Structure 1
Amino acid sequence: MTRWQLLGLTSAVGAVLAVGATALVVQALEGSADPATTVQPTDAAATDQPARPTPTESAAAAPVAAAPVVSAAVTAQVDYLLAHWSVENYNLAEWGVLGENDCVNFASQAMIARGWTMDAVWSSAKNGNAYDSTAAWRSSTAFMKYIAQTGKATALTDQQRDQVKVGDIAQFDWDNTGDRDHTGIVTKVEKVGDTVSIFFAGHTLDSDYRSVDTAITVDHPGGTAYYWSVP
């Protein structure tokens, strides 16, 4: 066979191989379109579940107001009040009772539980005899003057009740003569919008959560409340 015949045969074989390869590629492409082997897109309208919209942004978390922090001293003070406010649980062995006017004797006990210390003006013998105590220990007016003179607390009016907190001292002038007729210790403060409600514990009238508003509108109509903010 001549060189020209060999070249012709080689070209013919190459053409055949090229055609075969093309046929295989075409067959493969056609096979990929076979419905039996192709995953068809799901028609959302044919399912039982409705299409869900794609969220555009995360919902903002609702702000939560933090509860006021209560110190260990105030906790001890309130615990004492709630343990001894009722006549069945008066701490008679240590402090005794002042007949029907035991409010300041009880408030003074609570301030001792909080950490206040006695001095020459404000003290009790703590021997079970409530009358063995100073005037500032057992009189609301004398107690008011003692706090004002020592600066142990800051005076607040009832118009400043938004500054009152648990553990503060509440005092009342039932007849608005300038003295103080009753003393208690704040045990709860509720704030709803601009409205502030204050509750206090005391002796005679024995109470754990007595409402200031009830005290000055129902129990003693026209009475005035005052407070001492204790640091």
Structure 2
Amino acid sequence: MPRPLLLAGLAAAIAVGATGCAGIPPLPPQASIGTVTPDEQRGAETAPATPDDDPVEPSTEVPSADASDDVQLDVATDPRVVAQVEYVLEYWSDYNDEEWGVLERNDCVNFASQSLVVRGWEQDSAWYHGGDPYSSSASWRSSTAMRDWLEDRPDLATPLGDEERDQVQLGDLVQFDWDNSGDRDHTGVVTRIERSADGVKVFFAGHTLDSDYRDVDVAITKEHPGASVYYWRLAA
């Protein structure tokens, strides 16, 4: 698929390197942004972008649309969550790159951040899209930086371990540490939750390994055996 904003993003990154500081390009119409100091902008623009996932093919098995007598599906009723989940299911493979751009091989957090804007979150000086993802804040485009930012924003999200997955809701964020190194390697948006006597199964959508209903358990046992998974229970 064409990535029309990629060249523009690279050009912006080169310009920043040459000048040491640059203004923030215009934002998409639906976004707003707070004041950003030159130091904050410079740090965001020069933050390294590393692949957020390694080349493992996700499971192609899609869960059935309806729950059985023994399995209950969570249903979103909050219009904000409905809009968010509908967005990721619309653009998980057909990227909305004309509006948001694409971080090649590293787009999972850019995609998750887009969904949060659709959900109604407002951008500020610590989390923002800078007109293209390469000039956006690190928290907008890095799984680890997003974790660090959310840790300082308990008003927005509460961290949950995998043993607390029964508290996860549709639209929440899921993050993975594939190699248990202490960082975060991949981020997705929860799109399906199945509850049964056997426990809770969580499925998510994401970019990089493009998926709409990727199974968390498959991701941490078959695709990345022994990996760790974490969740962010979103407050709004």
Normalising by the residue count of structure 1, what TM-score does the alignment of the two structures yield?
0.68
Structure 1 distance, partners of 2:229, 2:114, is 21
Structure 2 distance, partners of 1:221, 1:186, is 21
Which amino acid is the alignment partner of residue 82 of structure 2? T
Corresponding residue number in structure 2 for 1:137: 140
Q: Does 1:79 align with 2:86?
A: yes
Structure 1 distance, partners of 2:119, 2:76, is 16
Higher relative contact order (CA 8 A, sep 6+): 2
Name the structure where helix makes up a greater proportion of residues.
1
Q: Does 1:150 align with 2:153?
A: yes
Structure 2 distance, partners of 1:192, 1:66, is 9
Structure 1 distance, partners of 2:96, 2:229, is 27
Corresponding residue number in structure 2 for 1:122: 127
Q: Is the 8 A contact 2:107 2:208 kept in 1?
A: yes
Q: Does 1:196 align with 2:200?
A: yes
Structure 2 distance, partners of 1:67, 1:168, is 12
Per-residue deviation, 1:108: 0.2
Structure 2 distance, partners of 1:158, 1:67, is 18
Corresponding residue number in structure 1 for 2:185: 181
Structure 2 distance, partners of 1:142, 1:66, is 32
102 and 67 in structure 1: CA distance in 2 versus 1, 3 angstrom threshold: closer
Structure 2 distance, partners of 1:187, 1:157, is 18
What is the DSSP-based 3-state SS (H/G/I as helix, E as strand, rest coil) of the residue aligned with 1:117?
coil
Q: Please list the CA deviations of residues 98-120 of structure 1 after superposition, one character each: whole Å capped at 9, or x if unmatched.
A: 01110000000000000001010
What is the DSSP-based 3-state SS (H/G/I as helix, E as strand, rest coil) of the residue aligned with 1:98?
coil
Alignment RMSD:
1.4
Structure 1 distance, partners of 2:111, 2:175, is 13
Corresponding residue number in structure 1 for 2:168: 164
Map of 1:23-102 to 2, 5 A cutoff? 68-86=75-93, 89-102=94-107
Per-residue deviation, 1:215: 0.6
Structure 2 distance, partners of 1:95, 1:188, is 25
66 and 184 in structure 1: CA distance in 2 versus 1, 3 angstrom threshold: closer
Per-residue deviation, 1:69: 5.0
User: Structure 1 stretches of 5 or more lacking a match?
Assistant: 1-64
Which amino acid is the alignment partner of residue 93 of structure 1? E
Structure 2 distance, partners of 1:219, 1:196, is 19
User: Structure 2 stretches of 5 or more lacking a match?
Assistant: 1-71
Normalising by the residue count of structure 2, what TM-score does the alignment of the two structures yield?
0.67
Which amino acid is the alignment partner of residue 199 of structure 1? F
Corresponding residue number in structure 1 for 2:234: 230
Which amino acid is the alignment partner of residue 181 of structure 1? D
Corresponding residue number in structure 2 for 1:15: none
Which amino acid is the alignment partner of residue 144 of structure 2? T
What is the DSSP-based 3-state SS (H/G/I as helix, E as strand, rest coil) of the residue aligned with 2:133?
coil
Structure 1 distance, partners of 2:195, 2:86, is 22
- Computing the radius of gyration over CA atoms, which structure comes out larger, 1 or 2? 1
Identity of aligned residues (%): 55
Per-residue deviation, 1:67: 6.0
118 and 67 in structure 1: CA distance in 2 versus 1, 3 angstrom threshold: closer
What is the DSSP-based 3-state SS (H/G/I as helix, E as strand, rest coil) of the residue aligned with 2:152?
helix
Q: Is the 8 A contact 2:74 2:193 kept in 1?
A: no
